[in-house]
Amino acid sequence: MDVVDLREFYASPLGAATRRLITHRIRSRVRGMSGAVVLGLGYATPYLDVWREEADRVIGFMPARQGVAHWPPNGLSATALVDEAEMPLPDGSVDLVLVAHGLELTEHLQDTLREIWRVLSPGGRAIFIVPNRAGMWARTDNTPFGHGRPFSRSQLTELLRDAMFSPSGWANALFVPPMARGFLIRSAPAWERLGLWLWPAFSGVIIVEAVKQVYAVRKPKRSRQLMPRFKPVPAAVPAPSHRASLPQNSKQSRPLA
């Protein structure tokens, strides 16, 4: 889906209800972002407003094949068109990454996760909103969550651990049927409460919070090769030459007369 389709969905009554329900679940998990740097990746701008007044900086990166939309509506834009596998940010510069309509649509899944890991600060957090493979929303294509690759909880766990993330919290949202009917949209909060109680595994989306893991890499111990000690070796002294000595009974020669 391109940015026009995504923007039209969130401008509809069903999209507005989707934004409220997911934002409520995210807000209940993430607090205390004062002075932090928050990055939204994919089409995450509908969920970034909750941190605009609290965080030090909130920016949005949208994949090049999707297109970019101006955000926030008033003022200077805080969004940019990027390659999600090569983001123009230094290492460890972001405290929180929120990924929405990103993992299920990217063609470079492992590279994107590694890039998110790179830009996160040590101990930084990432929140991934992905379609639930067992849910109803992944089976219909009238919403953005019906496009791309859905995930199960076990698949997400393995995927994040391979990318050096540790899942620290799970949430489910969107139990209301994905139909633009007025009575369903008005009763969406009741559907959420009922779904969380009766069938939490069949939610429309899975929300997982993961923490960046920084493992200490220990260098292998080098085998200490002790240098041989140099011991002073006395220089070889040549043996004294044995001169021919005069016989003891030899007589002194007399001068000639």
Q: What is the CATH number of the domain that holds 77?
A: 3.40.50.150
pLDDT grade for 239, boundaries at 50, 70 and 90: low
Give the three-state DSSP class for 89: coil
CB neighbour list of residue 233: distance below 8 Å, 6 or more residues apart: none
pLDDT tens digits, 156-167 = 999 999 999 999
Kindly state whether residue 227 falls inside one of the protein's structural domains. Answer: no
**Mean pLDDT within 75-93:** 93
Q: Which of 94-98, 208-212, 253-257 has the lowest mean pLDDT?
A: 253-257
Residue in 65, 114, 124 with CA at minimum distance from that of residue 86:
114
Kindly state whether residue 174 falls inside one of the protein's structural domains. Answer: yes
Kindly state whether residue 248 falls inside one of the protein's structural domains. Answer: no
Kindly state whether residue 237 falls inside one of the protein's structural domains. Answer: no
Which string of DSSP letters, residue by residue, matches 93-134? -EEEEEEESSTTT-S-HHHHHHHHHHHEEEEEEEEEEEEBTT
> How many domains does the chain contain in total?
1
**Does pLDDT of 217 surpass 50?**
no
Where does the chain show beta strands of DSSP type E? 37-42, 57-63, 79-82, 94-100, 120-131, 165-173, 205-212
**Does pLDDT of 75 surpass 80?**
yes
What would you report as the CA-atom Rg of the chain, rounded to the nearest whole angstrom? 37
Distance CA 66, CA 102 (A): 10
Which residue's entry shows tokens 């068109």? 81
Q: Which of 22-31, 129-138, 223-232 has the lowest mean pLDDT?
A: 223-232
Kindly state whether residue 255 falls inside one of the protein's structural domains. Answer: no
Question: What is the pTM for the complete model shown?
Answer: 0.81
pLDDT at site 246? 45
Give the three-state DSSP class for 181: coil
Kindly state whether residue 254 falls inside one of the protein's structural domains. Answer: no
pLDDT at site 236? 56
**Mean pLDDT within 167-182:** 91
**Does pLDDT of 85 surpass 50?**
yes
Kindly state whether residue 183 falls inside one of the protein's structural domains. Answer: yes
**Mean pLDDT within 120-128:** 94
Kindly state whether residue 7 falls inside one of the protein's structural domains. Answer: yes
Range of the domain at 175: 3-212
Distance CA 88, CA 90 (A): 7
pLDDT tens digits, 180-201 = 888 888 989 999 999 999 988 9
**Does pLDDT of 235 surpass 70?**
no
